[in-house]
Amino acid sequence: MRITQGTFSFLPDLTDEEITKQIQYALDNGWPCSVEFTDDPHPRNTYWEMWGLPMFDLTDAAGVLAEVNACRKAKPEHYIRLNAYNASYGKQTVGLSFIVQRPTDEPGFRLERQEWHDRTIRYTSHPYAADAPHGRRYNGQG
């Protein structure tokens, strides 16, 4: 099941040229970029691990893309996303966030029903991949 989180996630995955253009758009707006990765893409897992520090004072997308590629190389079977932070007063939040890599195989989520008192049913979603321990979740690697 294809994870849809962040911008562009319903589109076909972006090519590096398209990613470069998006990064350049963020940088032209003065939004510093950062790279994050995770092997637990639950929708409520907001805080992914940081790949290095956020990159301030950049003007050209090549530097950010180099970090994205370094992260892809080190974490070939992780989800990787790129965040651009809009620091302007009144916003001070993520201005753009999109996935730049996903594992080759995404098993998806199962719906779990928990029977509760008075025949109530409580639902939760559980990623199949999360049954494996951290670091062996996607294709035995991610």
Closest CA to 131 of 99, 104, 103, 107: 107
The residue range among 35-43, 53-61, 117-125, 128-136 that interacts with other proteins, by the rule CB under 8 A, is 53-61
Q: Per-residue x/- marks for other proteins, 74-113, CB under 8 A? A: --x-----------------------xxx-xxx-------
We find the least distance from the C-beta atom of residue 5 to other proteins, in angstroms, to be: 15
Classify 37 as helix, strand or coil. Answer: strand
List Cβ neighbours of 122 (8 Å cut-off, separation of 6 or more).
Answer: 113, 114, 116
User: What token pair was written down for 27?
Assistant: 């940088």
Question: Quick check: 55 binds other proteins (CB under 8 A)?
Answer: yes
| Closer CB to other proteins, 95 or 103, in the complex | 103
Q: Does 40 bind other proteins (CB under 8 A)?
A: no
> For the chain, how many residues are written?
142
Can residue 62 be called a binding residue for other proteins (CB under 8 A)? yes
Sort 132 into a burial class: Cβ within 10 Å, 0-12 / 13-18 / 19+. Answer: middle
Q: What is the x/- site pattern for other proteins, positions 5-24, by CB under 8 A? A: -------xxxxxxx------
User: Across-strand partners of 101?
Assistant: 80
Cβ proximity of 37 and 51 under 8 Å = yes
- Identity at 42, one-letter amino acid code: H
Q: How many residues bind other proteins (CB under 8 A)?
A: 29
Footprint of other proteins (CB under 8 A): 1-2, 12-18, 52, 55, 57-64, 66-67, 72, 76, 100-102, 104-106
